[in-house]
Amino acid sequence: MTTIIDGKALGLKIRGKIAEEVAEVSRKVGRKPGLAVVLVGEDPASQVYVNMKEKACLEAGFNSSVYRLSQSTTTDELLNLIDELNKNDGIDGILVQLPLPEQIDEKEVLYSIDPKKDVDGFHPFNVGLLNIGEDTLFPCTPYGVMKIFEEYGIELSGKNAVVIGRSNIVGKPMASLLLRGNATVTICHSRTKDIASICKNADIIVAAVGIPQFVTADFVKDGAVVIDVGINRVDGKLVGDVNYSDVFDKCSYITPVPGGVGPMTIAMLMFNTLKSFKTRTHQY
- Cite the active site residues: 53, 97, 120
Q: DSSP 3-state assignment of 162? A: strand
**CA 27 from centre of chain:** 29
| Strands lying side by side in the sheet with 93-96 | 63-69, 34-40, 93-96
Do 78 and 92 meet the contact criterion of CB atoms below 8 Å apart?
Answer: no
Angle at CA of residue 247, ends 245 and 251, nearest 5°: 120
Do 143 and 121 meet the contact criterion of CB atoms below 8 Å apart?
Answer: yes
Do 66 and 39 meet the contact criterion of CB atoms below 8 Å apart?
Answer: yes
Alpha-carbon torsion 129, 134, 135, 138, what sign?
positive
Task: Please choose, from the candidates 264, 272, 268, the residue with its C-alpha nearest in 3D space to the C-alpha of residue 116.
Answer: 272
Do 207 and 226 meet the contact criterion of CB atoms below 8 Å apart?
Answer: yes
Burial call 225-237: b when 16+ CB within 10 Å, e when fewer: bbbbbbbeeeeee
